[in-house]
């Protein structure tokens, strides 16, 4: 799903928006959002670090400052950004600082990287609402910032879970996240 013309700020179809999310390993986040009705494209990559066009191996060291992310294109006439973010917050733990489960490091942080100020405002508002509701036992650590220094991940990461459902990590970690999404958000499932 490498889309060289799909860079931040690129023109999109009417009703289509783009948001970039970091929710731990991008294999998990991609596998969830590939199944969301109204999401028209999911691309794994790296963003909000200081190195230019880092490799997966470089990002995994934690020294590039990048997060593993997915860039979502979605049809706002089918699903709203608020609904996208509700799914995002329910399918990872935004209270874990620089980690998701056993995946530890700044590259696994929780983040919302927006392309318009309206997206950033909505994200910050939702974080305030979640904090007021006391949904998590610990403070929410999700970073909200403008999208910066985005680059696509290597092609072998595309559709990783779909191609490798029985691989150890996919079976133990990705599969349960997808199952949770299917159970919790059945109304947002794409038609089979």
Give catalytic residues, as residue numbers. Answer: 25
Give the Cα separation of 140 and 133 in Å (integer): 12
Stated as kind and residue range, the H or E segment containing 66 is none
Which residue, 94, 96, 95, is CA-closest to 85? 94
DSSP symbols for 77-106: TTS-HHHHHHHHHHSS-TTSTTEETTEESG
Stated as kind and residue range, the H or E segment containing 23 is strand 16-23
């Amino acid at each position: 799903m490498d889309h060289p013309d799909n860079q931040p700020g690129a023109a999109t179809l009417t009703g289509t928006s783009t948001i970039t999310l970091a929710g731990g390993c991008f294999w998990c986040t991609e596998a969830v959002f590939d199944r969301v009705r109204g999401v028209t494209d999911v691309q794994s990559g790296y963003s909000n670090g200081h190195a230019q066009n880092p490799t997966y191996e470089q990002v995994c060291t934690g020294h590039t400052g990048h997060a593993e992310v997915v860039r979502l294109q979605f049809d706002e006439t089918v699903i709203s950004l608020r609904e996208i973010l509700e799914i995002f917050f329910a399918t990872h733990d935004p209270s874990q600082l620089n980690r998701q489960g056993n995946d530890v490091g700044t590259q696994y942080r929780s983040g919302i990287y927006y392309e318009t100020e309206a997206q950033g405002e909505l994200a910050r508002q939702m974080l305030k609402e979640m904090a007021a509701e006391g949904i998590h036992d610990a403070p929410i650590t999700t970073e909200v910032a403008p999208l910066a220094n985005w680059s696509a991940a290597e092609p072998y990461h595309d559709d990783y879970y779909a191609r490798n459902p029985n691989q150890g990590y996919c079976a133990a970690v990705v599969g349960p996240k997808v199952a949770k999404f299917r159970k919790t958000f059945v109304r947002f499932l794409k038609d089979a």
